[in-house]
Amino acid sequence: MATPLLAGRGISLSFGGINALDGVAFAVEKGELFSIIGPNGAGKTSLLNCISGRYRPTRGAVLLDGQDITRRTTNQRAGLGIGRTFQNLALFGHMTVLDNIMVGRHHQLSHGFLTGMIYWIGGAEREEQTHRREVEEIIDFLEIQHIRGEIAGTLPYGLRKRVELARAVALKPRLLLLDEPMAGMNLEEKEDMARYIIDLNEEWGITVVMIEHDMGVVMDISHRVMVLDFGKKIAEGIPEDVQRHPDVRRAYLGADEAALLGTA
């Protein structure tokens, strides 16, 4: 079998006496749209933080293309092609939309402070133009041309979520981690965001790992789904099978309601 793009081997994470994750194992194949779901407090964002490098697992390992990256920093993981968005927006509110997205290209710049000083003859100008062209392609793709010069902090919530997605895509990731990309959006905004995510996966070839609470969206667009509950994996598979899984029903509905549905 081919090596999965992303794998977790028995990932456990503790904060003092609290176990946020307990032996979670999974594999995400290249080209998949893989969703992580579960009730509040299930450990979803903690797992995403272990993958992106914000947290280091207490036990277990994170592998990218079969390579153990558990001890790699967030910057190093970005250099390996891991991009992410956050549950709570992490934009630079005082900067323009264009500048926020350009930040996503920072790790790919080859000119530093000294060579950048010779802007016109050192190649820094050509490099900036190249990155600007790629950023403009992302701006066109996400249909935010009309706000490229706006200050990010002044934008409506739905547009700020789109700008954060643009910045993550500007990193040119092989693996894109999305933490509740549709939280707080109205129906039209969710439909647009779902379309962008599908196109990034299918047309841009980006593997996506997504946390999302909207079960309709998850079941419609995911290739496979993993369910966490109290830090443990309780189910994994195609959306239809996961939706019918008795442990998933109990986690979301409670034992009494699940029994009424004939799943206890």
What does the mean pLDDT of the chain come to?
Answer: 89
Helix (H, G, I), strand (E, B) or coil at 243: helix
Q: Which among 194, 251, 250 has a CA at the least distance from the CA of 35? A: 194
At 113 the pLDDT is 45
At 132 the pLDDT is 86
- Positive or negative CA dihedral for 259, 23, 239, 43? positive
CATH 3.40.50.300 maps onto the chain at 1-81+176-194+207-264, 86-172
How many residues are there in the chain? 264
- Tell me the percentage of the chain whose pLDDT exceeds 70: 87
Is the pLDDT score of 141 beyond 90?
yes
Read off the pLDDT band of 260 (50, 70, 90).
Answer: very low
E strands, 54-203, in order: 59-64, 67-68, 82-84, 175-179
Is the pLDDT score of 259 beyond 50?
no
Least confidently predicted of 101-115, 150-164, 234-248: 101-115
Q: Are 79 and 107 in contact (CB under 8 A)?
A: yes
Residues 193-220: pLDDT tens digits? 999 999 999 999 999 999 999 999 999 9
Q: Residue ranges of the alpha helices (H) in 179-254?
A: 187-202, 215-221, 239-244, 246-253
At 90 the pLDDT is 78
Higher per-residue pLDDT: 2 or 60: 60
Read off the pLDDT band of 114 (50, 70, 90).
Answer: very low
Rounded to whole angstroms, the Cα distance separating 177 from 205 reads: 14
Rounded to an integer, the average pLDDT of 167-179 is: 95
Q: What is the pTM of this model?
A: 0.88
Rounded to an integer, the average pLDDT of 16-38 is: 96
Read off the pLDDT band of 105 (50, 70, 90).
Answer: confident
Is the pLDDT score of 28 beyond 60?
yes
Buried b or exposed e, range 196-227, using 16+ CB within 10 angstroms: bbeebbeeeebbbbbbbebeebbbebbebbbb
Q: Side chain identity at 253, as an amino acid letter?
A: L
Rounded to whole angstroms, the Cα distance separating 231 from 234 reads: 9
Is the pLDDT score of 256 beyond 90?
no
Q: CATH for 1-81+176-194+207-264?
A: 3.40.50.300
Q: Which of the four CATH numbers 3.30.750.24, 3.40.50.300, 3.20.20.450, 1.25.40.10 does domain 86-172 have?
A: 3.40.50.300
Is the pLDDT score of 13 beyond 50?
yes
